[in-house]
Amino acid sequence: MSNNFQNLDISRLKFIEVNCDFCGSNQFRLVHFVWFLHRWFRFVRCLTCSLIYQNPQLDEPSRRHIYETIDYWEHKKINSSQHLLNYHSYTDDEVAIKKTNEIRVKSICSRLKPKDRVLDVGCANGALVKALNRAGLRAKGMDISASMIAEGKKKNLNLIQANFESEWPFDERFDAITCYACLSNFSNASMVFKQIRKHLLPGGYFFFNFGDSQRLVSRILGSRLYLFRPTATLIYSKALIEKYCQNSGLEILEMKTDVQFIPLARFAGFLRIPGLLKIIKSLDLEHLNWKMKLLTGYTSCAVNKDLSQ
What's residue 250's pLDDT? 97
Average pLDDT by stretches of 10, the chain with 309 residues: 81 97 98 94 98 97 96 88 88 95 98 98 98 98 96 96 94 97 96 98 98 96 93 96 97 98 92 85 88 97 80
Parse the chain into domains and list their residue ranges: 67-304
Give the chain as a 3 state SS string: CCCCCECCCHHHCCEECCCCCCCCCCCEEEEEEEEECCEEEEEEEECCCCCEEECCEECHHHHHHHCCEHHHHCHHHCCCCCCCCCCCCCCCCHHHHHHHHHHHHHHHHCCCCCCCEEEEECCCCCHHHHHHHHCCCEEEEEECCHHHHHHHHCCCCCEEECCCCCCCCCCCCEEEEEECCCHHHCCCHHHHHHHHHHCEEEEEEEEEEEEECCCHHHHHHHHHCCCCCCCCCEEECHHHHHHHHHHCCEEEEEEEEEEEEEEHHHHHHHCCCHHHHHHHHHCCCCCCEEEEEEEEEEEEEEEECCCCC
What's residue 2's pLDDT? 54
What's residue 276's pLDDT? 86
What's residue 307's pLDDT? 61
Pick the CATH number of 67-304 from 3.20.20.140, 3.90.1150.10, 1.10.3720.10, 3.40.50.150: 3.40.50.150
What's residue 257's pLDDT? 98
